[in-house]
Chain A
């Protein structure tokens, strides 16, 4: 039977080891994996390293680093735990693994860069544990959500589920714009409100429900209708994503123009009876890179609302839910899809609905998709924009069949 020392020596013979100076040169090309315990990691780590405690390494590494040819540098405090870890990864088929001799202690002693990871509180770690388990979210993603700001236009059918799921997910700041009070005809679908809040402004009712669900979330209320007069003040507070659940065309076009000019992506949802439409408008982005030329003109990225619908329909073809009705669960589905798109945009993961319009038919339970392309002649985000300041949106939406 071998002693610990003998076993360690044997393992170190079998693996590749790298010194601090050598490892420093591999920063940028190699992925650093910190296998220490959480408390050690929180006191400081190699910048950009991923943290997987030794005990969870085998079970989590495939999710975090799927490509087995990735160059990995494992480290612990002194180089022993990472030696055993390197052997285990070799057995899992990882081809390019080395262990940092002397560990983080030696790294620091050399004066190489160290960062102190921000960290969640124990309460937050429990609350968001199901997010932390997902490699695409994890602790870094959760911290990003907590630092994120989402503006919801409307606290109605779409805003209800969207705000609840974004709040539950830990999006740190939610702004809500709505001028209405809770009416008993709302409660068939607007689940952020309740019978207790009848007659109360929707923004206050929503704030109460959201803060009861998750005290990590700060709710900023705007008890007003979004207009050309207040849009700059409200958007000027700075938002990462807008979730558009407005109930009328003038507000839709206003949200579009303002978001294009502010460079804020919009997650669009609309509903009627059994049918819903969902998409993402983000003319300011080309994939992940901001698509602005030197003069600030938008040059790349997805379409805007006006690219999709240059002309609003005449009022007789644009009935609201108040006139035409809506199945109560439909906004639940569409608003949840909007929350999903918003979370992906905030986390920078997955494929967004940018350039695709999802058509949901709850009666047949089908989802169709149509392509939405950037219109180079779009009056707002096109090459030669003709609309460059706020217009009278009510008039714009009425004058179709004059």
Chain B
């Protein structure tokens, strides 16, 4: 089981949860497991099977783009989903 941290701008899609637990060997499997339970999250995160380009995914503090992408094995580390935030107000 892998912890997935949900950013504030995506919490409406998951009933207000700050963190979810997903099952799977790779980042993709974990995210698909979580998104499978929350269709609204699925719609925001995935576009035709690929992850939306504005969402950064970190595993153990490292951007998965610098690892093996969504195929990176989770190995007990936790996942952070992070879209950009604009606010300075």
Contact = CB atoms under 8 A, between A and B. Distances in A.
Interface of A: 153-154, 156-159, 244-249, 252, 269-275, 277, 308-314, 317-322, 324, 326, 331, 357, 359, 363-364, 368-373, 400
Interface of B: 7-10, 18, 44, 53-56, 58, 61-63, 66, 80, 82-89
Nearest to B53: A311
Contact of B63 (A153, A311, A372, A400): A372
B82 A319 contact: no
Given A309-B54, A317-B44, A246 B61 contact: no
Contact of B83 (A154, A252, A317, A368): A317
B81 to A, nearest CB: 11
Contacts of A272: 8-9, 85, 87
B9 A368 contact: no
Given A308-B56, A317-B44, A368 B80 contact: yes
Looking at B8, B44, B62, B87, the one whose CB has the most chain A CB atoms below 10 A away is B87
Contact of B85 (A153, A277, A369): A277
13 contacts: A154-B88, A156-B89, A249-B84, A271-B87, A272-B8, A309-B84, A313-B9, A318-B83, A320-B86, A324-B9, A368-B80, A370-B62, A370-B82
A370 B58 contact: yes
Contacts, number: 109
A156 to B, nearest CB: 5
A243 to B, nearest CB: 10
Given A272-B8, A309-B56, A320 B80 contact: no
A313 B54 contact: yes
Given A317-B54, A371-B63, A372-B63, A157 B83 contact: no
Nearest to B13: A317
A153 B18 CA distance: 31
Looking at B18, B55, B86, B89, the one whose CB has the most chain A CB atoms below 10 A away is B89
Contacts of A311: 53-54
B34 to A, nearest CB: 17
